Amino acid sequence: MDIVYLLIPLAPLLGAIATGLFGGRLGWRLAHRVAIGAVAIATVLSFVVLWVHGLGDPAPYNKTLYQWLSIAGVDLEIGFLVDRLSAMMMAVVTFVSLMVHIYTIGYMADDHHNWPEGSGAGKNAYQRFFAYINLFTFAMLMLVMANNFLQLFFGWEAVGLVSYLLIGFWLNRPTAIFANLKAFLVNRVGDLGFLLGIGTVLAYFGSLDYAAVFESIEAGGGEATLTLFGTEMTAATLAAVLLFVGAMGKSAQVPLHVWLPDSMEGPTPISALIHAATMVTAGIFLVARMSPLYELSTPAQSLILVIGGITALFMGLVGLVQNDIKRVIAYSTLSQLGYMFVALGASAHAAGVYHLMTHAFFKALLFLGAGSVIIALHHRQDMREMGGLRRYLPVTYWTMLIGSLALIGTPFFAGFYSKDVIIEAVGLAAEHGRPGAGFAWFCVLAGVFVTAAYSFRLFFLVFHGQERMDAHTREHLHEPGWVVTVPLVLLAIPSALIGLVTVGPMVMGDWFAGSLTVGEQFQPLHHIAEHYHGPVSFAVHAFYNWGNPAFYLAAAGVFVAWLLYIRRPEWLVLVRERLSWPRLVLEYKYGFDEMYTGGFAAGGRGVGRALWRGADGWLIDGILVNGTARTVGRIAAGIRGVQSGYLFHYAFAMILGLLVLLTLFVGGWQGWWQA
């Protein structure tokens, strides 16, 4: 099996090398064939791995393949840990990646229009794009297959890098460059926490290897207490909180969420693959992978509940006022990531990870559907210029309907099973008395209404109502080719059905038992599973479950959207006037961007300027660097004089050196050999 595990990440890496370094020679057609072939290999093998681990022997594969360094007992290694959690992640990542790869052919087909005439960067941009997404697949696989923190960190940074490169893929657009810089900088903040977290783990658990860390946790290694800034806490809490800060950056949780909406400047396939289905879920994966650690620390779980809850509700609200089709879905992603974190905070790890999986399918579907609309409208993204597209884009229409229904949690669709379990679990956590769970429960429940409202606002604005695009665009409206529609259909199938098929074993059963640890004292999913009698009765139950009115909230959300955008558009104007103040708050996205650019970025620049002028310009450059350089230059010039080129000077220097050594050593020797 070694070779299979090794081949899964290496195939996309080789694809990336081939298309990245030799893209010009391969030509565009061969380049995408190579790239797609590489990912297809990884996908097939990942499903083989999922088959083996999911149905057969559940013993995890844990093996170190290569040791780079061993310093003072710390091993820097590359190794794979493949259990059911990583097997599921691998399958999701490679499958979505494969869909996106195929879809990209259609989306990027006329990419040359996006570059100015004769632009050097535009040359081979198509091949470069495939190289990047291949590289991303490699990095993401390394991340989820890691068996130690170092490799996790490598994958973590590598996916961040590719994300940066792809957000700024159209590097001639100032907004894209602003967005990728923003993503990079905000992720720095999270990564600092992540690194400190890794350091804490190393300091208190004595290893970077997952298995060793978990052993140490079982042996009570996390119980050590320390005092930080006057607060006493356990080592487990410190490590868990710091790692969560890293997860907040990558998975875009409030207040580190600001980069994700802007990342929509990148091409749409990227939004689907990186900024919805896979990379942004790395934080979820991290917390789930570290479940033994988080189970030790109720404070960290409460923090996750609160942060996740805030993100789930308040980012969804912002989605209500966005006009860019991709930004609506981006805020939806933020909100759904909040749901996943809430599940993790409520010790319902399996539910969180399960929502990650279902979300990957329907969110990728929604993004690719949005991309299909964007292609049809010649790269226009403003929903105010759309409307009535149902007639022109039937496949996109139906698949997006399935995606939206899955997203809002319609019974029997994939999203329903994952989301409903989360809400139930958080409710149980609140009853159990976990701090923050009550708040999170309110947020996720209210979030259901908001989710339904913005999803169908988008749906009605785009596909129903008046046709608001200009005449020229309308004439050319048609469904994009099969490379676009086939991935949509292939993603719509799991979006609709996967919950029905898998919720039993994966959430209610103990499919994840070997990967995810839940503490003895509180096991919400066990409680829920006690009342579980198959997926159909579970879905039917939602219609008369008065303790959890999620279904009716969602229905209300759809109804409101229908009322305001289809039935009574004039009421919308009224609502806007009456609610002008909250609307403003939402349109300014609570002022995070202003605060960061005006506060941190401007302040940082101010401090930077002061340090540059004062410290750097005068002290360091003027005196230390240039001063040293001048001194070095003078000394070198002095020695250079000795290197005159005259043989007798050289010989003289040698003799002089000999004499010095003789004096020093034979002189010193005298005293010694007589003694």
Nearer to other proteins, 574 or 662 (CB): 662
Kindly tell me which residue out of 121, 566, 624, 658 binds other proteins, with binding defined by CB under 8 A: 658
Nearer to other proteins, 174 or 645 (CB): 645
Kindly tell me which residue out of 219, 579, 611, 662 binds other proteins, with binding defined by CB under 8 A: 662
Smallest distance, Å, CB 148 to other proteins? Answer: 17
Distance CA 603, CA 607 (A): 6
Smallest distance, Å, CB 636 to other proteins? Answer: 4
Smallest distance, Å, CB 313 to other proteins? Answer: 46
Q: Kindly report the backbone phi and psi dihedral angles of residue 551, in degrees, each rounded to the nearest multiple of 5, phi listed first.
A: -60, -45
Site string for other proteins, 68-107 (x = CB under 8 A): x---------------------------------------
Nearer to other proteins, 547 or 645 (CB): 645
What's the alpha-carbon Rg for the chain, to the nearest Å? Answer: 29
Smallest distance, Å, CB 157 to other proteins? Answer: 15
Smallest distance, Å, CB 672 to other proteins? Answer: 8
Instruction: Please report, to the nearest 10 degrees, the dihedral formed by the alpha carbons of residues 127, 129, 130, 132 taken in order.
Output: 120
Residue ranges of E strands in 561-671:
none
Q: Which DSSP category does 596 fall into?
A: I
The residues, ordered by sequence, that sit 6+ positions from 64 with a Cβ below 8 Å of its Cβ are 75, 77, 78, 79, 147, 148, 209
Does the footprint of other proteins cover residue 534 (CB under 8 A)? no
Does the footprint of other proteins cover residue 625 (CB under 8 A)? no
Site string for other proteins, 584-623 (x = CB under 8 A): ----------------------------------------
If one counts every other C-beta atom within 10 angstroms of the C-beta of residue 513, the result is 12
- Which amino acid is residue 671, in one-letter code? G
Nearer to other proteins, 575 or 656 (CB): 656
Distance CA 473, CA 381 (A): 13
Nearer to other proteins, 546 or 648 (CB): 648
Nearer to other proteins, 228 or 666 (CB): 666
Helix axes 149-167, 282-289, angle to 10 degrees: 170
Answer left, alpha or beta for residue 66, where phi above 0 means left and psi between -120 and 50 means alpha.
Answer: beta
Smallest distance, Å, CB 181 to other proteins? Answer: 21
Does the footprint of other proteins cover residue 666 (CB under 8 A)? yes
Near other proteins in 144-183, by CB under 8 A: none
If one counts every other C-beta atom within 10 angstroms of the C-beta of residue 592, the result is 15
Q: Judge contact between 130 and 19, C-beta under 8 A.
A: yes
* Span between the terminal Cα atoms of the chain, in Å: 70
Q: Kindly report the backbone phi and psi dihedral angles of residue 514, in degrees, each rounded to the nearest multiple of 5, phi listed first.
A: -75, -15
Smallest distance, Å, CB 119 to other proteins? Answer: 16
Does the footprint of other proteins cover residue 669 (CB under 8 A)? yes
Nearer to other proteins, 471 or 639 (CB): 639
Smallest distance, Å, CB 122 to other proteins? Answer: 17
Nearer to other proteins, 597 or 631 (CB): 631
Q: Can you tell me whether residue 66 is helix, strand or coil?
A: strand
Near other proteins in 638-657, by CB under 8 A: 639-640, 643, 645, 647, 649-651, 653-654, 656-657
Distance CA 302, CA 294 (A): 10
Near other proteins in 32-71, by CB under 8 A: 68
Burial of 623 (0-12, 13-18, 19+ CB in 10 A): exposed
Smallest distance, Å, CB 632 to other proteins? Answer: 6
Smallest distance, Å, CB 674 to other proteins? Answer: 9
Q: Judge contact between 332 and 414, C-beta under 8 A.
A: no
Two structure tokens written together for 524: 């919400």
Near other proteins in 183-222, by CB under 8 A: none
Nearer to other proteins, 619 or 632 (CB): 632
* Options 356-364, 534-542, 609-617, 662-670: segment touching other proteins (CB under 8 A): 662-670
Number of residues that bind other proteins (CB under 8 A): 28
Does the footprint of other proteins cover residue 633 (CB under 8 A)? yes
Q: Which residues pair with 82 in a beta bridge?
A: 61
Nearer to other proteins, 513 or 625 (CB): 625
DSSP alpha helix (H) spans, 207-348? 210-218, 235-250, 259-262, 268-272, 282-289, 291-294, 298-310, 316-319, 325-345
Nearer to other proteins, 607 or 653 (CB): 653
Nearer to other proteins, 472 or 640 (CB): 640
- Burial code (b: 16+ CB inside 10 Å, e: under 16) for 230-255 equals eeebbbbbbbbbbbbbbbbbbbbbbe
Parallel, antiparallel, or unpaired for β 231-234 and 225-228? antiparallel
| Helix count and strand count (H, E) for the chain | 29, 4
* Options 381-389, 511-519, 527-535, 633-641: segment touching other proteins (CB under 8 A): 633-641
**Dihedral of alpha carbons 530, 534, 540, 543, sign:** positive
Nearer to other proteins, 433 or 671 (CB): 671
Enumerate binding residues for other proteins (CB under 8 A).
68, 632-633, 635-637, 639-640, 643, 645, 647, 649-651, 653-654, 656-658, 661-662, 664-666, 668-670, 673
